[in-house]
Amino acid sequence: MALKYDDGSMYGLVETIYSAKQTKVDTDLKEQETGSWVVFNVKAGYTYQKRLFIGGGVDNLFDKMYYSYLSYLRNPFRTGTKVPEPGRFIYLNASYSF
């Protein structure tokens, strides 16, 4: 779910991503259930004279530790290690159109 403001030159976005608990696993491969999680992202940007864009944001604002369903580092025929999703990620973008 997201809430966005955009007037053509400025925009802002607050977003939440949710995943429910996943209990459907392959016990023969010793897969583990994955718990539910929720993360929040924020983004903002500004466009100057339809040429220069500067924007940035923060994904996983509260640095939540979580796993996507079936996110394993493994041989597909043996049990493996769950791979966590990235923590807080901060970025800045800039572009200029000629």
Write the pLDDT tens digit of every residue in 28-74.
Answer: 877 778 889 999 999 999 999 989 999 999 999 999 999 888 777 76
**In this structure, what token pair is assigned to residue 53?**
């864009």
Distance CA 93, CA 43 (A): 11
Tell me the whole-structure pTM to 2 decimals. Answer: 0.80
Query: Domain span at residue 20?
Result: 2-96
Query: What's the number of domains the chain is made of?
Result: 1
Residue range 71-90, pLDDT digits in tens: 777 665 656 677 888 899 99
